[in-house]
Amino acid sequence: MASILFVCLGNICRSPTAEGVVRHRIEARGLSEQLEVDSAGTTGYHAGERADARMRAHASRRGYDLTSRARQVSASDFERFDLVVAMDGANHGDLADMAPGETAETKLIRYCDFVPGREGEDVPDPYYGGAEGFERVLDLIEAGADPLIDHVLKVTS
For residues 77 and 65, give the distance between their C-alpha atoms in angstroms, rounded to a whole number: 24
Q: Which of 13, 14, 23, 56 is catalytic?
A: 14
One-letter amino acid identity for 47? Answer: A
Which of these segments, 7-15, 28-36, 61-69, 148-156, binds ligand 4NP (CB under 6 A)? 7-15
Hey, how many other C-beta atoms are within 10 angstroms of the C-beta on 132? 10
**Is 125 designated active site?**
yes
Amino acid at 13: C
Site map (CB under 6 A) of ligand 4NP, residues 14-53, x = contact: x------------------------------x--------
When asked if residue 11 is in the footprint of ligand 4NP (CB under 6 A), the reply is yes
What's the rounded Cα separation, in Å, for the pair 84 and 92? 9
139 given a catalytic annotation? no
Which secondary-structure segment (H or E) carries 28? helix 14-28
Task: Identify the residue among 4, 5, 12, 59 touching ligand 4NP (CB under 6 A).
Answer: 12
Stretch that binds ligand 4NP, among 4-12, 29-37, 57-65, 106-114 (CB under 6 A): 4-12
The answer to whether 138 and 123 have CB atoms below 8 angstroms apart is no
Q: Which residues of the shown chain bind ligand 4NP in the complex (CB under 6 A)?
A: 8-14, 45, 125, 127
